[in-house]
Each structure stands twice: as structure tokens, then as C-alpha cells.
Amino acid sequence: MTAVAAPPAPPEAPPVRRVRRGGGLAPPWWFAVPALAVYALVMLYPSIAGAASAFTDWSGVGEQRSFVGLDNFQQLLQDDQALGALRSTLLLTVAIVVVQNGLGLLLALGVHTTIKSRMLLRVIFFAPVVVSPVMVSFLWKYVYNPAPDAGLNAVLGALGLGSLRQDWLGDPSLAIWSVAFTVIWQCAGYSMVIFLAGLEGVPKELHESAMVDGAGTVARFRHITWPLLAPAVTINVMLSTVGGLTLFTQIIAMTNGGPGYATDTLSTVLYKQAFVFGKFGYSTAVALVLALFVAAVSFVQIAYLRSRETTA
């Protein structure tokens, strides 16, 4: 009982390295420099330069360019092709977000059961995700072959549904849905895997006690599984939205924006304006609109879906 709490000894020497809040000795700043340099060179600088040239009449060749204010944006508002592309982009995005994630959820629920083929089915449904979109596009271009005895039309004929045969990519009102379906076919497995990861996190005890209380499959899905899947929904909706808004490869490979302009999206319009028509200033204005669109939709979705997560 003799010891009296001694005042803490003053540090004998100032620490050589500063201790940071995480309790770790912070590594020196140059750890971040190479990454930052490459990121700035490849993404930050070009994006800023791109945003700036949206206000010029730059043709893309040489340095000749002058400031034209909001002219490019005004032109965009009167450009039927660009407005049509904006409409197509939105339609495609909504279709992809809803159907891809709905299908992904159904597939995840199906293979998250005791069925014997569950592991094989997971591999099958996921496989298209790892194949290049350009190759998947060509595969589906054959499936959509307009000839009555090839691809999908041949199947319809064989099933006695010959009256449903279509010119899937050649019909202007149908083409965009054909492209959307290709994207959904390729990416449904991606949604499935994220939903599966979410389903793994739902405690079994909740389902068991709900079953004891007499809750059926539907009630348990509505009141237990669905709310707890909220984070997986957030990620899936975000990813498919950005993917839909910036869709490019599949369209170039399957329809090149046609027939007419029926499947042009903002991405294909800005590409054509830049590399086909040499209107770089106008093209970057379209790109800037696209970027703002993506940013705005992302923010709204994060805010809305995150609020759903916390109340769930």
C-alpha cells in the first residue's frame, strides 16, 4: 500500500515518427505518390481537360479552338439524334436495372437451397460474366439472326411458334430490347453472386423462429430476407445503373447504333461525333452531360438506398 500513483513520466525523447489516430506509425507520403501520379495522368487530367473542351468548338485536330460558352449544350438540346440517344439510354438502363436484378435475385434464391445441382448452376449462370462483352455480342448477333431458320427464330419455328419470329436487331422498335436482353443474359449471374453473398448473411435462426411462428415462405421472404438484402440491392442497383448509362461495347458490336439511330446511346453518339464527324468539342459536351447524369443518379441512389438499409 505504499505505492502512490505516480504521475506519468514525461516522454524521454520526442517520438521519431508521429503516431497517428489509428495507433499506427504513419507511412511516409511518398507511398501514395506513384499511384496518385498515374491516376492524375490517366484520369484526373483528361477528365478535367475533357470537361473544359465541352465549352469550345475544338475539332480534335491541332490546337485550334475557341471558347463558345454553352453553344454545344444548346445544340445538344436541338439535336434529335442526341435526344433520341438520351431516351434510349434511359430506357435501356431501366430495363437492365429492373430485369437483370430481378432475374439475379430469383436465380440466387433458387441456388441458395438444397437442390442437388446448386453448385453447377452457380457456375453456369456466372460463366458469361467472365467472357468479353464483344464476344457475347457476336454470339447474340447470331441468335438474333433475321433468317427464319437460324438462331432464335429457328427455335421458335421448331416449337411451333413460327408466328413470333422477328427481325430482332433490324426492327427499330425491337432492337433496343434485343440489346438489353443480351446485357441481361451476360450480367444476371453477376447480380446473382452479389445477392448470394447477401443471402449468406441472413441468420438461419430468424427463419427458424419465424417458421415456428407459422410464417410461410412468402412472409419470411418479405419480412426477413428482403430487408436484410438491402446492402446487396444497393450495390446491384448502383452497378447496373452505371453499367446501363455507359453501355457502349454491346451496341457497337451488335447494331452500331442502328437501325437508323434506334439503338444509339449517349456513349455511341459521343464516340461518333468525335471519331466519325470530328466534332470533339460537341462530343465532350455529350460526355459531360453523361458524366453529370451518372454522378447525379449515383448520389440519389446512394442516399435513397442507404436510408432503406438503416431503417431495415
SS3 state of residue 61: coil
SS3 state of residue 25: strand
Closest approach of other proteins to the CB of residue 167, in Å: 17
Tally Cβ neighbours within 10 Å of residue 80: 8
Distance CA 1, CA 41 (A): 67
Q: Which of 7, 14, 28, 160 binds other proteins (CB under 8 A)?
A: 28
306 binds other proteins (CB under 8 A): no
Q: Which of 289, 118, 263, 259 is closest to 183 using CA atoms? A: 263
Q: Which of 73, 126, 177, 261 binds other proteins (CB under 8 A)?
A: 126
259 binds other proteins (CB under 8 A): no
Residues numbered 49-68 forming contacts with other proteins, rule: CB under 8 A:
49-51, 53, 60
Residues numbered 139-178 forming contacts with other proteins, rule: CB under 8 A:
139-140, 142-143, 149-151, 154-155, 158
Q: Which of 55, 168, 280, 282 binds other proteins (CB under 8 A)?
A: 280
Distance CA 75, CA 71 (A): 6
Give me the residues paired with residue 67 across strands: 56
Q: Which is nearer to other proteins, 7 or 22 (CB)?
A: 22
Residues numbered 183-242 forming contacts with other proteins, rule: CB under 8 A:
185, 190, 193-194, 196-197, 204, 207, 211, 217, 220, 231-232, 235, 239, 242
SS3 state of residue 240: helix
Closest approach of other proteins to the CB of residue 87, in Å: 18
291 binds other proteins (CB under 8 A): yes
Distance CA 204, CA 210 (A): 10
All three cell numbers of 107, joined, read 436465380
SS3 state of residue 263: coil
Judged by CB under 8 A, the number of residues near other proteins is 100
110 binds other proteins (CB under 8 A): yes
